[in-house]
Every structure is written in structure tokens, then in C-alpha cells.
């Protein structure tokens, strides 16, 4: 009986402690783990009360904004990590055929390989024998300790990306006086997936090759795949984020400049900046504590000896990431500064995606570039200030103008269609739509001039 009372007292004490914690302590407002604002207390209205929405919203707020939310989630991840089944150590060779001679040529002559549009399959030479496990959302966790790397699993088929290839072709037809380029970027999983986890993902190369084969001869291919493969032993991808590292973007930008026939400076012309203890998006995606426990340096480069001014047109989105309005053109900085430990360091470039960016440089050569990109492309423009007189950057998830008007009004001479492979696999139709939509197309609403925006067509934008 005495043991029963002791047990009951312990349980009641724990329950009382959690009751005090969840009712008295300050609520959490932002989750660094999930990179989002947490729920706020709902507004009470007669309609929401009658429909039962108010009580359900209160319940969601209570659970979503619990005190010390991230700490409790980290504890849960730690427990899960210690009980999770690992794929294990595997010393088997990859099924991908590897040509040693090709690898030697690639390592010794990366510039030559970057110009070659023929792409050879790459065999993992870095962490092929590392341990691996599959975490939340199918994220592959490779390696251990400070070398942990989180990888997205690719499930796309070779026939994907048709709409993106069609969009590139349509842009070349729409702008015959401009040079149109297509750059497709693989994710880190293409180069760093251990042999033990090969069955959990597919190669991205067949899709990249298939898209290239569907392009018209007049669309210029930029072989980013080989340019990156030549440097896989360098930190060209972030370990804790789904994006590549700025160094990877440098090598891709170098390959593009070579195809475009414009000047390009090496890294000696840049100032190196570092954000220490960076943990990116893959911590939240994978919900794996080992990613949090393996922070990395976020290293980026600021150009020297070239002057430039940056201006923005900011877009406002609703809760469904639909563009609903745009602001006036305002001056700003291209490189934003983040403190050590910030999980938002990838937004160093332009501060994010939902905007149109214009950079005017002191490079006066008559070349004016438009980059139409996803978030991977944010790291590209800063390496091209020596290469182009003007650089315009558009995210293909946020654009409310007519593309033909924009290209004409800004005297664009070069258009870079840029996408990482996940986006290219499923995107393209919206790009073609931009060629015909009226200026001021805001989620089917009328713009300030009262024009009808394509019969209320939705511009739903989905973040990653």
C-alpha cells in the first residue's frame, strides 16, 4: 500500500508540474526547429463559436504554442533516435558503373568538364560506406557525429520535367533576340547518398538528361551537374539544409558564365563571410536530433572591386502562399547579415524569395540578365556582378507581371531558366502562363487599374 501511495504522489506531482508549465509559463511564438510562426490565440466571433471553429482553434493554439516547444520536440527526437532502426554499415559497391579514367579527368580538369554538355553518371567517392537511416518524411540521414548529412530522397521518373522543358522552349520562341539558357541542379542526395541507402532514393541524372534532350537546339544547356561533380570533396552542399552551399553555386555560376561568354572572377576577388553554428531546414524536415547536434559553417562570398545597387519589388502572400499584392520599388541590400546560430542564414541572398530583385552593376558591357529561379538560385546572382550590367531575379513562384513586357521594358539580353531538379520535375506551366498574364495578376483579384486577371486564375505558390 505504501508503494502505491508513493507512486500516486509521483504521478500527481508530475501532472501538477506539467499543468503549471502549460498554463502559466509564456507560450512559444516561433519554432526555430520548424522555421515558422506558431499559432496565436484565435479571435472570438459569434460565427466561429456557432460553427465550433473557435473551440477547435483554441485547442490547436494550446498544443501548437506550448512553452519550450522546441526543447520538448528535441527530447522526443533524442528518444526516437536511440530507438530508430538504422540501415547499417554497408561496404557493398554501388550498382552505378564507375569509370576511373573519367573521374581522374574530371578531378584534374574541372573547367574542361564544365564546358562539356555530356554528363556521366557520378559514383559516390566521399561517404559511400557511411552508416545511414531513414528519418521523418523519408529524409536520409547519412554518417554520424559532426559529419551527419541529411539528404532528400528523390522519387522522380525519367519522364518528369516535360512541362519545364516546354517552358524553356516557349521562352526561346517568345524572346528570339535574347539568349535563353537552362540550368538544372541536382540535390545533395545525387552525390552523397551512402550505398546502404541507395534503395531509398533514385538517381536524379536520368530526369536531368531527359529534360536536356527535350530542349530546342536554340536553348543553351548549362552543365551544372558536371561542374558540381568535379568538386564533391569540397563543401558544395549544406549538410543540415536542403539547399546547396554558396560554394556550389559559385562553380555553377562559373559554368554559366563560360557558356554565356561573359567575364568571371575567381574566389580571390571575394571577401569570405561565415555564419557559425548554422542548422538549416533539414532539422525540421527530418525531425532527427543528430542533425541539430551537427551544426556547420554557412560560408558565403561578397564581391570586391565592383559597385552595385539593389532594388526590390516585394510581394505579399496570403496563408496559402498566393500572391495578393505587390509593393513599390524600393532600394535595399543584396547581402543580408545573420548572426551565428541563425537558422535563416540561407536568406543572406536578397532576404528571401517573394520579390523581384534588380541589381545594377558597374560592369558596363550591355549584357542584361534575367534569372528565373527557385530558392536554390538565390546564391547565383552575387557571383555575376562582374559579368553583367544589370541582373534581374524573379522567383517563378512569385510573379504578378507580364513576362513579355518585363523583358522588353528592361532590355533583357540573356535569360537563365534555373531550377533544382525537384522543382523542375513538377513545374513549368506557371512559367508559360507568365508570358500571357496581364500585369498585376494578383490571385484572381482586380489590380489597381481594374483589369480582370485571367478570369480569377489562382497563382498558388508553395514554399520549400
114 and 19 within one domain: no
Over the chain (464 residues), the average pLDDT of each successive run of 10 is 66 63 63 58 68 60 58 51 47 29 32 57 90 93 96 92 97 98 98 95 96 96 97 97 98 98 97 98 93 97 98 87 88 97 96 96 98 97 98 94 97 98 91 94 51 36 39
Residue 215 grid coordinates? 530542349
Provide the domain limits for residue 31: 2-67
In angstroms, the Cα distances linking 229 to 190, 191, 202, 404 are 10, 7, 17, 35
* Confidence (pLDDT) at 58: 59
255 and 392 within one domain: yes
Of 308, 299, 292, the closest CA to residue 267 belongs to 299
* Number of domains making up the chain: 2
42 and 108 within one domain: no
* Confidence (pLDDT) at 331: 98
Determine, yes or no, domain membership for 88.
no
Determine, yes or no, domain membership for 93.
no
Of 174, 221, 220, the closest CA to residue 407 belongs to 174
Determine, yes or no, domain membership for 86.
no
* Confidence (pLDDT) at 448: 36
106 and 60 within one domain: no
452 and 356 within one domain: yes
Determine, yes or no, domain membership for 407.
yes
130 and 50 within one domain: no
Determine, yes or no, domain membership for 44.
yes
Give exposure, 191-228, as e/b (b: 16+ Cβ within 10 Å): bbbbbbbbebbbbbbebbbbbbebbeeebbbbbbbbbb
* Confidence (pLDDT) at 110: 39
Determine, yes or no, domain membership for 90.
no
334 and 380 within one domain: yes
63 and 106 within one domain: no
Q: How far apart are the first and last CA of the chain?
A: 56
Q: Are strands 368-373 and 414-420 parallel, antiparallel or unpaired?
A: parallel
How far apart, in whole angstroms, are the C-alpha atoms of residue 281 and residue 380? 20
277 and 163 within one domain: yes
Q: Do residues 243 and 187 touch, judged by C-beta distance below 8 A?
A: no
Residue 357 grid coordinates? 530583385
54 and 134 within one domain: no
* Confidence (pLDDT) at 101: 29
212 and 124 within one domain: yes
60 and 167 within one domain: no
Amino acid at each position: 500500500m505504501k508503494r502505491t501511495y508513493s507512486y500516486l504522489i509521483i504521478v500527481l506531482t508530475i501532472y501538477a508540474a506539467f499543468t503549471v508549465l502549460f498554463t502559466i509559463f509564456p507560450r512559444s511564438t516561433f519554432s526555430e526547429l520548424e522555421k515558422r510562426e506558431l499559432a496565436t490565440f484565435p479571435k472570438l466571433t459569434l460565427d466561429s463559436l456557432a460553427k465550433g471553429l473557435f473551440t477547435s482553434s483554441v485547442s490547436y493554439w494550446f498544443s501548437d504554442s506550448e512553452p519550450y516547444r522546441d526543447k520538448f520536440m528535441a527530447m522526443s527526437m533524442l528518444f526516437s533516435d536511440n530507438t530508430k532502426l538504422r540501415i547499417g554499415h554497408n561496404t557493398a559497391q554501388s550498382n552505378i558503373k564507375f569509370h576511373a579514367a573519367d573521374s581522374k579527368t574530371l578531378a584534374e580538369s574541372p573547367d574542361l568538364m564544365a564546358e562539356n554538355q555530356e554528363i556521366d553518371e557520378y559514383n559516390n567517392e566521399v561517404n559511400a560506406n557511411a552508416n545511414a537511416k531513414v528519418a521523418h518524411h523519408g529524409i536520409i540521414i547519412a554518417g554520424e557525429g559532426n559529419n551527419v548529412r541529411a539528404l532528400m530522397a528523390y522519387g522522380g521518373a525519367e519522364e518528369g520535367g516535360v512541362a519545364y522543358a516546354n517552358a524553356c522552349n516557349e521562352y526561346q520562341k517568345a524572346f528570339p533576340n535574347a539568349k535563353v539558357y537552362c540550368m538544372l541542379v541536382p540535390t545533395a542526395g545525387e552525390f552523397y547518398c551512402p550505398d546502404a541507402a541507395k534503395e531509398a532514393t533514385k538517381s536524379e541524372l536520368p530526369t536531368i538528361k531527359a529534360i536536356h534532350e527535350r530542349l530546342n537546339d536554340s536553348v543553351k544547356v548549362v552543365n551544372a551537374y558536371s561542374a558540381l561533380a568535379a568538386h564533391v570533396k569540397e563543401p558544395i552542399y549544406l549538410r543540415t539544409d536542403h539547399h546547396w552551399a554558396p560554394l556550389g553555386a559559385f562553380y555553377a555560376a562559373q559554368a554559366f558564365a563560360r557558356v554565356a561568354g561573359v567575364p568571371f572572377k575567381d574566389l580571390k576577388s571575394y571577401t569570405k563571410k561565415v555564419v557559425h553554428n548554422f542548422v538549416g531546414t533539414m532539422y525540421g524536415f527530418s525531425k532527427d536530433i543528430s542533425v541539430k547536434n551537427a551544426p556547420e559553417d554557412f560560408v558565403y562570398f561578397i564581391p570586391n572591386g565592383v559597385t552595385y545597387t539593389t532594388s526590390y519589388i516585394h510581394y505579399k502572400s496570403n496563408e496559402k502562399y498566393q500572391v495578393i499584392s505587390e509593393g513599390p520599388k524600393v532600394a535595399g541590400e543584396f547581402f543580408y547579415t545573420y548572426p551565428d546560430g541563425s537558422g535563416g542564414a540561407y536568406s543572406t541572398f536578397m532576404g528571401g524569395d517573394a520579390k523581384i530583385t534588380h541589381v545594377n552593376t558597374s560592369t558596363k558591357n550591355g549584357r542584361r540578365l534575367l534569372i528565373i529561379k527557385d530558392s536554390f538560385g538565390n546564391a547565383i546572382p552575387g557571383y555575376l556582378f562582374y559579368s553583367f550590367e544589370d541582373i534581374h531575379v524573379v522567383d517563378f513562384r512569385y510573379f504578378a507581371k507580364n513576362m513579355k513586357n518585363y523583358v522588353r521594358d528592361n532590355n533583357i539580353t540573356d535569360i537563365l531558366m534555373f531550377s533544382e531538379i525537384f522543382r523542375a520535375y513538377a513545374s513549368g506551366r506557371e512559367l508559360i502562363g507568365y508570358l500571357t498574364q496581364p500585369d498585376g495578376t494578383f490571385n484572381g483579384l482586380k489590380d489597381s487599374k481594374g483589369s480582370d486577371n485571367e478570369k480569377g486564375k489562382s497563382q498558388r505558390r508553395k514554399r520549400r
